[in-house]
Amino acid sequence: MAEPLLEIRDLTKHYGAVRALKGINLQVQAGTIYGFIGPNGAGKTTTIRILAGLIRPTRGHSYLDGHDLATDRIPAAEGLRTLVEVPQFYPGLSGHENLSVFGRLARAERGEVDELLEAVGLTEAAKRAVGGYSLGMRQRLGIAQALIGNPRLVVLDEPMNGLDPSAIHLVREIIQTRRREHGVTFFLSSHLLHDVESLCDEVGIIHRGEIVAEGKIDELLSGSISGFRLQCQDSAAALAVLEEKLANAKPHAGEGGHVIVTGDESLLAELNRVLLDAGQPPHSVIPIRETLERYFIEMTEGVMG
C-alpha closest to that of 303 among 223, 217, 211, 208:
208
pLDDT at 304 over 50: no
At 106-136, the pLDDT tens digits run 888 889 999 999 999 999 999 999 999 999 9
Q: What gap in Å lies between CA 66 and CA 58, rounded to an integer?
A: 20
Most confident of 12-26, 77-91, 235-249: 12-26
At 235-249, the pLDDT tens digits run 999 999 999 899 888
pLDDT at residue number 163: 87
What is the mean predicted confidence (pLDDT) over 149-159? 93
- For residue 248, give Cα distances in angstroms to 251, 289, 298: 8, 19, 21
pLDDT at residue number 138: 93
pLDDT at residue number 295: 82
Average pLDDT, the chain: 90
What is the mean predicted confidence (pLDDT) over 186-205? 92
Name all domains of the chain by residue range, CATH numbers in brackets.
Answer: 6-217 (3.40.50.300), 225-289 (3.30.70.100)
Percent of the chain scoring above 90 in pLDDT? 62
pLDDT at residue number 305: 44
What is the mean predicted confidence (pLDDT) over 25-54? 94
C-alpha closest to that of 228 among 246, 202, 240, 216:
246
Residue 137: pLDDT band (50, 70, 90) is very high
- For residue 122, give Cα distances in angstroms to 42, 53, 94, 140: 34, 29, 11, 8
pLDDT at 17 over 70: yes
Q: What gap in Å lies between CA 240 and CA 229, rounded to an integer?
A: 15
pLDDT at residue number 181: 92
Q: Which residue has the higher pLDDT, 75 or 114?
A: 114
Contact between 227 and 241 (Cβ < 8 Å): no
pLDDT at 176 over 90: yes
pLDDT at residue number 1: 61
Q: Is 12 helix (H, G, I), strand (E, B) or coil?
A: strand
At 215-228, the pLDDT tens digits run 998 888 766 777 88
At 266-302, the pLDDT tens digits run 888 999 999 999 998 888 888 877 778 878 887 887 5
pLDDT at 142 over 60: yes
